Amino acid sequence: MERMRELVDLLNKYAYQYYVLDEPTVSDVQYDALYNELLALEKESGTVLPDSPTKKIGGDPIKAFTPHVHINKLYSLDKCNSFEELRAWDAKLRQLKADIEYTVEYKLDGLTLCLTYEGGLLKCAATRGNGEVGEDVTAQVLTVKSIPTRIPYNGVVEVQGEGIMRLSAFNKYNETATEPLKNARNGVAGAIRNLDPKVTASRNLDVIFYNVNYLEDGYVPSQEENIKFLKDNRFKTETLFKSSDMEEVISYISKVDRQSLDFLIDGMVIKVNSVALREELGYTEKFPRWAMAYKFEAEETSTKLLDVEWNVGRTGKLTPLAILEAVELCGVTVKRATLNNYGDILRKKVKIGSNVFIRRSNDVIPEILGVAEDFEDSKQILPPTRCPSCGSELYEDGAHIFCPNEENCLPQIIGRLEHFCSKDCMDIRGISESTVTQIVNAFGVKEPTDLYKLTREQIGKLEGFKDKKTENFIASVEKSKSTSLPAFINALGIENVGKKAAKDLAERFRNIDALSVATKEELVTIDEVGDVMADCIVSYFARHKDRIEEFKSLGINPQMEEKQKSEGVFSGLKVVLTGTLSAFSRTVAAKEIEARGGEVTSSVTKLTDLVIVGEDAGSKKAKAEKLGIKTINEQEFLKLL
Ligand SMILES: [Zn+2]
């Protein structure tokens, strides 16, 4: 029992550091080990402590929501849409009180929740409902990893927050969901008001708190203190801005970049900071006089889908582009939106002629979320069968459609060259899309390697290329030969391999020869490399041996500098990992070995010094024994660490 208490406290502390503070202090492996220990003890003893983190996986489905009466009424706020209205509100308040300090917070766009704690334990979670009576959603809210199940404050307290689905969680969910969510707001409402807590858990929700609605012994004197109380009691909060000057408040609001946030906000909330002053200002019939919600322009709207255009990218992938009936969104006229891929069209069930929801996204071009309304004459969107550019027969691979004509399909050639020359790749200056097109048309350049064979005379003949520009171009091409390995790998344009993956691959394989013979099994041991990416890499090098040789003959063969060697128990040893380890993934184990001076290699040879053998080890173990190389099991390995 004592150990259970200890484990619950420890796990809750780690969860707080991870989910609320975003400062993890233990690894997932360590957390999981303690969690499993607790789970076993709970099973053995048949008791589960009230604040046990094992409750967060979601209990059994419930039959219906029961009503919950809030201790204090939850008010809704007066709203405005312009800075003029904010100034008028400020002027009105100043007639009553000259000296006012305001606080400004995000107006989160999710589902309002009210949590009651008693004796330090979460007692109940409820929706806002009509402000006086909400629905009891305790089982659902309990699955939110960031909310505390135990808090330091011991009296009765009701705290108010907004249940949200982070956009990163929303996107991740929609990647694999059979029924994609139309937006993050629907995502959170549908998850909390779902009778099955396991569904809630699967959405990975979060709650951000902003108000202490009731406190048993006394009251919180200001909004600032509200946030401090919440923070002290381990609740997740957001930024709070303070100013006594409405112009400063307005300037702050106009600088808020909601595209940079990982959650939806639909405005900002301005409150009078002092609670004593709030009492003086009082309430109208509906709203408090001391708060105002400033609403942003909508980021979502709907319009008619007129047609779909298919564009060929540098890897041959066809991307559908929706042509829309022009509509205003955030002050911009929108005529096009992205549909990602054919699989996306099928999942979102959009048709030509239907009304669709569109949302402003981080990219220049907005995204289609789903169907708002279908009509009788709406037409199915059919996948193209021939490349719109070169006429080749297309093929499907998963959710995507490809043009196989790598060599002669113009948008692929141009896209490949542009990518190759771009800043994060070979960084060849002075090449714009139009220059690439000029070069392709004039000299029949098809592959990046062809760029290195262009002569001064040829370049000089291009329109707009005077001596200086020609020299710069030639020099920039020459200079690119001494690029770094991560940039070169990125420049190859292997499908699904971006800048970050290129860096990881470079760090692991150190040169292009080693990477080009890497097997899928070796590749997937890198954290960021999944099955799909590994397949793309292997297939790329199988198809392009000649191209790699050609790069080398042109003098392009970057290497990673030797890593600084760490010292430790594995210093100077070549170590091979085989089989499944229970306490680590192989990547983590490899890092632990490297941090102690060892070098981890993939195959057992005469040069191998040590083989660490996990469960179900196969041929490598046999080979090590045959060669007489020392092997140790996981226990012995852990001892060495
Ligand atoms: Zn084509």
Query: pLDDT of 242-294, one tens digit each?
Result: 999 999 999 999 999 888 899 989 899 999 999 999 999 998 878 999 999 99
Q: Between 545-553 and 531-543, two packed helices, what is the crossing angle to 10 degrees?
A: 70
Centroid of chain to Cα 501: 16
Catalytic positions: 107
Q: What pLDDT is stored for residue 569 in this prediction?
A: 86
Average pLDDT over residues 309-323: 94
Q: What pLDDT is stored for residue 115 in this prediction?
A: 96
Whole-number Å distance, alpha carbon 134 to ligand 1 midpoint, is: 57
Q: What pLDDT is stored for residue 545 in this prediction?
A: 92
Q: What pLDDT is stored for residue 149 in this prediction?
A: 92
Question: Which distant-in-sequence residues (6+ apart) come within 8 Å of 3 by Cβ?
Answer: 41
Q: Is 244:224 a contact under the CB 8 Å cutoff?
A: no
Q: What pLDDT is stored for residue 490 in this prediction?
A: 95
- Dihedral class, residue 145 (left if φ above 0, else alpha if ψ from -120 to 50, else beta): alpha
Whole-number Å distance, alpha carbon 414 to ligand 1 midpoint, is: 12
Average pLDDT over residues 1-26: 89
Q: What pLDDT is stored for residue 481 in this prediction?
A: 93
Tell whether the model's pLDDT for residue 66 goes beyond 70: yes
Q: What pLDDT is stored for residue 362 in this prediction?
A: 57
Q: What pLDDT is stored for residue 564 in this prediction?
A: 62
Tell whether the model's pLDDT for residue 582 goes beyond 90: no
Q: What pLDDT is stored for residue 363 in this prediction?
A: 55
Q: How many CA atoms lie within 13 A of 580 on its CB side?
A: 3
Q: What pLDDT is stored for residue 565 in this prediction?
A: 61
What confidence tens digit (pLDDT) does each residue in 471-518 have? Answer: 888 999 999 999 999 999 999 999 889 888 999 899 889 999 999 999
Alpha-carbon gap, residue 618 to 3, rounded angstroms: 39
Q: What pLDDT is stored for residue 28 in this prediction?
A: 84
Average pLDDT over residues 128-152: 92
Q: Is 523:547 a contact under the CB 8 Å cutoff?
A: no
Tell whether the model's pLDDT for residue 566 goes beyond 80: no
Average pLDDT over residues 560-567: 70
Average pLDDT over residues 48-66: 86
Q: Which residue has the higher pLDDT, 359 or 144?
A: 144
Tell whether the model's pLDDT for residue 433 goes beyond 90: no
Judged by average pLDDT, the poorest of 386-395, 415-424, 428-437 is 428-437
Residue type, 295: K
Tell whether the model's pLDDT for residue 539 goes beyond 90: yes
Average pLDDT over residues 223-230: 96
- Helix H or strand E segment including 637: helix 634-640
Judged by average pLDDT, the poorest of 545-549, 550-554, 593-597 is 593-597
Alpha-carbon gap, residue 37 to 44, rounded angstroms: 11
Q: Is 51:69 a contact under the CB 8 Å cutoff?
A: no
Whole-number Å distance, alpha carbon 402 to ligand 1 midpoint, is: 8
Alpha-carbon gap, residue 284 to 556, rounded angstroms: 74
Q: What pLDDT is stored for residue 563 in this prediction?
A: 59
Give the dihedral of Cα atoms 476, 482, 488, 491; nearest 10 deg.
Answer: 10
Whole-number Å distance, alpha carbon 462 to ligand 1 midpoint, is: 26
- Helix H or strand E segment including 215: strand 206-215
Q: Which two tokens stand for residue 244?
A: 């006594």
pLDDT band per the 50, 70, 90 thresholds, residue 462? confident
Q: What pLDDT is stored for residue 102 in this prediction?
A: 97
Judged by average pLDDT, the poorest of 14-28, 114-128, 394-408 is 14-28
Whole-number Å distance, alpha carbon 309 to ligand 1 midpoint, is: 14
For 307, phi and psi rounded to 5 degrees? Answer: -165, 170
Alpha-carbon gap, residue 186 to 111, rounded angstroms: 9
- Mean confidence (pLDDT) of the chain: 90
Q: What pLDDT is stored for residue 271 in this prediction?
A: 97
Whole-number Å distance, alpha carbon 71 to ligand 1 midpoint, is: 66
Centroid of chain to Cα 69: 37
Tell whether the model's pLDDT for residue 445 goes beyond 60: yes
pLDDT band per the 50, 70, 90 thresholds, residue 301? confident
The C-alpha R_g of the chain, in whole angstroms, comes to: 30
pLDDT band per the 50, 70, 90 thresholds, residue 319? very high
Whole-number Å distance, alpha carbon 413 to ligand 1 midpoint, is: 10
Please name each of the domains of the chain with its CATH number: 2-52 (1.10.287.610), 79-295 (3.30.470.30), 302-402 (2.40.50.140), 410-482 (1.10.150.20), 485-553 (1.10.150.20), 574-640 (3.40.50.10190)
Q: What pLDDT is stored for residue 122 in this prediction?
A: 94
Q: Which residue has the higher pLDDT, 527 or 6?
A: 6
Average pLDDT over residues 114-126: 95
Question: Quick one: DSSP state of residue 16?
Answer: I
Q: What pLDDT is stored for residue 331 in this prediction?
A: 73
Whole-number Å distance, alpha carbon 392 to ligand 1 midpoint, is: 6
- Helix H or strand E segment including 435: helix 433-443
